[in-house]
Structure 1
C-alpha cells in the first residue's frame, strides 16, 4: 500500500542556517547579516561601511557556504526526533533549494545525523517538484513544510491537495517573518508541529482547496 508523504525543507526547518551563515560571512567576508524585515538579501551589509550587498553578490556567498561550511550547521531542536516519529507513519523527502550541486552533500549531512531520506536539491518555486512527487508516489495524504511563503504559494497552485505547514525554526528571524497566507498553519515549534502533522496523516484527507491563489 502506498504510504503517506511528508515533504520538508531543510534550512530553518530541520537545520539552523542563518546563524552559522552570519558567523561565517562576518569572519571570512567582512559582511554583517542582520535581518530587519523579510528580505534575506537586504540583511547583508558590508561591515566597514554599512552598505547593502548587491543582489548579484548574495548567491555566491550562499553557494560558498553550502560548498564548504555545512559542518557549521546544527539541528533545530526537536526536528530529528520528530522526523523519526513521522517516519513511522509516512515516507519523508527533503526538498531543499541548495540546488543539484549540493544535493549529495546535504544528503550526507542529514544521514550523519540519522535522517536517511531522499534529498532533492531544487531551484526556484517548489510547486512543480512537489506535484511531480505526488504524481509519482500517489500518497493517500501529503504534507509540505517550508519556512518561505513563496513556496507555500507555489505548492498551493501546483498541488492544492497537499497540506502546507509554515515553520520558521530559527528564533533569530521567526518574529520577522509573517505567517504565510497560503499555508494551512504556522507552527515554529517541533513538538507542536509533530502533533499537527501526525493528525493530518491520521485523517488521510486531502487539504481543503484554497479560496484564491
Structure 2
C-alpha cells in the first residue's frame, strides 16, 4: 500500500507572509497594507495620500517580494516541527500559488529552515493540481491544508476524497477569515492541527464528501 500524502500551502500555513510583506512595502515603497483579510484588493494604499493602488500595481509588488524578499519570511509557530512528525508517516508536497517562476526560490527558502519537500508553484484554484497529485502518488489517504477558503471548495470539487484542513497560521488575519464551508476542520494552532492530521492518517479512510451547492 502506498504512503499517505499531505499537500500543504506555504504562506500563512508554514511561513508568515502578510506581516513581512506589509513591513517591506511600508519601508521600501511608501505603501500601507491594512491587513483586514486574506485579499489584497483595496488593502494597499499610498501613505502620502491614502489612495488605493490600482490592481495593475499590486502584482509587481508581490512579484518583487517573492523575487527579492522571501528571506523576510519566517516559520509559523510549530509548523515545521509538526511537518517533521507528519513526514514520518506521510509524503509531503508543498502546493503554493507563488507561480512556477518562484518555485525554485520557495524550495531554497524552506530548505534554509531544514524543511525539504517537493514544491509546486501553481496559479489559480488548487483542485486540479491536487487531483493530479492524487493520480500520481495514489496515496492510501490524503490531507490538504490551506488558509484560503476558495481552495477548499476547489479541492472538494476536484478531489472530494481528500481531507481538507483550513488553517490560518497568521494571527493578524486569522480572526478575519471565516471557516471554509468545504473544509472538514478549521484549526489555527499547529499542535492541534498536527494531532488532527495524524489521526486522519491513522484512520486511513477517505474523507466524506460535502454538498457543494454553496461556494465560498
TM-score surpassing 0.5?
A: yes
Q: Which residue of 1 aligns with 2:55?
A: 55
Q: Which residue of 2 aligns with 1:137?
A: 137
Q: Which residue of 2 aligns with 1:81?
A: 81
Matches for 1:137-156 after TM superposition, within 5 Å? 137-156=137-156
Q: Which residue of 2 aligns with 1:161?
A: 161
Q: Which residue of 2 aligns with 1:108?
A: 108
Instruction: Name segments (4+ residues, structure 1) moved above 4 Å.
Output: none
* Secondary structure in 2 matching 1:19: helix
- Shift in Å, 1:212: 2.0
- Shift in Å, 1:58: 1.1
TM-score (norm 1): 0.98
CA contact (8 A) 1:35 1:176 kept: no
CA contact (8 A) 1:4 1:140 kept: yes
Give the Cα–Cα distance (whole angstroms) in 1 for the partners of residues 172 and 194 of structure 2: 22
* Secondary structure in 2 matching 1:92: strand
Give the Cα–Cα distance (whole angstroms) in 1 for the partners of residues 89 and 176 of structure 2: 33
Give the Cα–Cα distance (whole angstroms) in 1 for the partners of residues 77 and 38 of structure 2: 23
Q: Which residue of 2 aligns with 1:30?
A: 30
* Secondary structure in 2 matching 1:7: strand
- Shift in Å, 1:99: 0.5
Point out where structure 2 has 5 or more consecutive residues left out of the alignment. Answer: none
- Shift in Å, 1:142: 0.3
More off after superposition, 165-174 vs 41-50? 41-50
Q: Which residue of 1 aligns with 2:45?
A: 45
Matched, 1:196 2:196: yes
TM-score (norm 2): 0.96
- Kindly tell me: are residues 113 and 37 of structure 1, through their superposed partners in 2, closer, same or farther at Cα, counting changes over 3 Å? closer
Q: Which residue of 2 aligns with 1:7?
A: 7
String of CA shifts for 1:98-121, please: whole Å, max 9, x gaps. Answer: 001100010011111111100000
Point out where structure 1 has 5 or more consecutive residues left out of the alignment. Answer: none
- Shift in Å, 1:36: 2.7
- Shift in Å, 1:37: 4.3
After superposition, the CA RMSD in angstroms is 0.9
CA contact (8 A) 1:35 1:42 kept: no
